[in-house]
Structure 1
Amino acid sequence: MPLLLACSKPAEPTAAPAAATSAPSASAAPSPALPDLRVAIDPTYEPFTYKGADGKATGFDVDFANALCEQIKRKCVFAEQVWDSMIPGLMARKYDVIISSMGITEARLAQIDFSDRYYKTHSRMVLKKSVQFDGPASIKGKRIGVGKATIQEKWALGELKPAGVKVVSYDAQDQVYLDLRAGRIDGTVADFVEVTGGFLSKPEGQDYQLVGPELDDPKYFGIGVGIGLRKGDTALKETLNAGIQAIRGNGVYKTINDKYFAKYGNLDVYGK
């Protein structure tokens, strides 16, 4: 919140006692407080947005959002939302922005606007170590879980389904991992950092591995992750872009990045 400053009372004049003293000047009107920034998140996407042991939302996206709000003198108020209702909720003005690892794609740009990107990572396919992978045709008949309305779902439907792979969509990525553990699906397609930190690095992910090449075709995966906002919110977009540039320049972004991603070989998720 901005500091509210008022003018001080002027000093009394040094004239003779009989002389009238100057009247105190009126205090300057305080600056109006900026409204809260209502931020939609889907806390099922570790390490970007997830629930901590205390039940509160945390992760890279959450820390980034709070740092950005501090920079632009707003207070972040988070609204948890199911992923495939994110854009409809934004359009219905349930919140002001989406800061939840949403990729900037042509399809989404037809509906909403985006800030400049604030990170860019690639996706990967994950399968059981016992499964031999040599392209989509080699896993014909296998069941691959993806998040509903995600860029990974779009890729799977475009590249795996035509090869005879069964694409199974879920409301959230953590539901994908539950079914992987239960043996109801054979693999997933997910963001490389998310699937590494949220599944492969944990005991339940030890029987699985990354397969195939890095997946980053702009046709499916867009040009990076940005802040989603309504078309026409030009002033807010400019403010957010200036804020992103500022925390990139003052070291705050790097501090948040290193908190979550230094363990991946000093990965800079902002990308090139």
Structure 2
Amino acid sequence: MARHTLAACLLAMVFASFAPGGVPQAQTAGTADAAASVAVPGFWDPKRRPERPDVTRLPMQIRFVTTDDYPPFSFRDEGGRPAGFNVDIARAICTELAITCTLEVMPFDALVAALDEGKADAAIAGIAITPLSRQAVEFTDRYFRSPARFVSRRGGTVAAVTPDAIASRKVGVVTGTAHEAYLRSFFAEADIRSFPSPEAARDALQKGEVDLVFGDGVQLALWLNGTMSAGCCAFVGGPFTESLFFGEGMGIAVKQGNDALRQSLNYALAQLWEEGVYTDLYLRWFPISVY
């Protein structure tokens, strides 16, 4: 099954940048001000409102499973407790549905088997929605998507990102990734420099060896918000979300045929967005928006 990947070393960046806390219940004035300056993505159509579920059709409790190696979505905090955007979303869903939930941490490769064998009801672990993963599980509506982004040094001369604007510019990207394939397809006139890892590409940007880096928006946002970037750089241009290259996003996985739970989760996710809870959680975990 496909999954978005983030370097494990980002755990240190997460611990340095975010503090654990309870699930917000409503959007505050401060959050509203922050949302005005940070782009919060909305994945729900206001014209399409899922029906309120009949919770009597659900089990007595929802057994969520996640992983602990995917910051800032799911990891263990300094006290060893599960934490992250996915963890908070799961808790908020249970509050919205007024149902008891449990959360178990397990390896990513064990998630589908846990659903199939009835050991878990829902997996919220950064699972990418792809044709292959749809063969194994069913998904809720998308609740997150990590776009591709460009980053440049502050004070640099790159003000916009178009094929013409960055023609002949040195652009760093990780070799063999969808981001490299996208660059070579749509920014072929750029001077594309391939690197073995995101860290190597970012290091080259800090040293001035490349003018831009193109990569995963979440990785780059965490780096920009952490200490390792030393405030050197910033996003430039907008997000790139072409599904052919970067996927459809993330959904909560349930066992095939479990429509009652899937529809209930869809209802809860839509309500979290409408009530501002999703925005609160997004701003907590992504203070530098990936969009």
TM-score, with structure 2 as normaliser: 0.55
The partner residue of 1:246 within 271, 283, 286 is 271
Residue 39 of structure 1, CA deviation: 1.6
Q: Is the 8 A contact 1:37 1:75 kept in 2?
A: yes
Once the two structures are superposed, the pairs formed by residues 55-134 of structure 1 within 5 Å of their partners are: 55-72=80-97, 73-82=99-108, 85=109, 89=113, 93=117, 95-126=120-151
Higher relative contact order (CA 8 A, sep 6+): 2
Q: Is the 8 A contact 1:41 1:98 kept in 2?
A: no
The CA deviation string for residues 130-163 of structure 1, in whole angstroms up to 9 with x for no partner, is 9x997698658x66179xxxxxx4x236335787
Q: 1:166–1:259: structure 2 CA closer, same or farther, 3 Å change rule? A: closer
Higher radius of gyration, 1 or 2: 1
Residue 177 of structure 1, CA deviation: 4.8
Indicate whether 1:203 and 2:194 are aligned: no
Q: 1:161–1:232: structure 2 CA closer, same or farther, 3 Å change rule? A: farther
Measure the CA separation in 1 of the matches of 2:120 and 2:169.
44
Q: Is the 8 A contact 1:35 1:75 kept in 2?
A: yes
State the aligned residue count.
215
Secondary structure of the residue aligned to 2:90 is helix
The partner residue of 2:216 within 190, 208, 217 is 190
In structure 2, the partner of 1:144 is: 174
Q: Is the 8 A contact 2:63 2:103 kept in 1?
A: yes
Q: Is the 8 A contact 1:177 1:199 kept in 2?
A: no
The CA deviation string for residues 63-101 of structure 1, in whole angstroms up to 9 with x for no partner, is 11111123331313131434xx36655566464333233
Residue 107 of structure 1, CA deviation: 4.1
The CA deviation string for residues 204-229 of structure 1, in whole angstroms up to 9 with x for no partner, is 12445546652210212344432122
Identity value in percent: 21
Q: 1:179–1:216: structure 2 CA closer, same or farther, 3 Å change rule? A: closer
Measure the CA separation in 2 of the matches of 1:88 and 1:127.
39
Q: Is the 8 A contact 2:140 2:265 kept in 1?
A: yes
Measure the CA separation in 2 of the matches of 1:90 and 1:209.
41
Indicate whether 1:257 and 2:282 are aligned: yes
The CA deviation string for residues 110-145 of structure 1, in whole angstroms up to 9 with x for no partner, is 443210122345222457789x997698658x6617
Higher strand share: 1
Stretches of structure 2 that go unaligned for 5 or more consecutive residues are 1-57
The partner residue of 1:44 within 70, 86, 102 is 70
Residue 60 of structure 1, CA deviation: 2.0
Q: Is the 8 A contact 1:68 1:244 kept in 2?
A: yes
Counterpart code for 1:158: A
In structure 1, the partner of 2:251 is: 226
Q: Is the 8 A contact 1:115 1:228 kept in 2?
A: yes
Indicate whether 1:156 and 2:179 are aligned: yes
Q: 1:246–1:181: structure 2 CA closer, same or farther, 3 Å change rule? A: same
Moved more, 113-122 or 236-245: 113-122
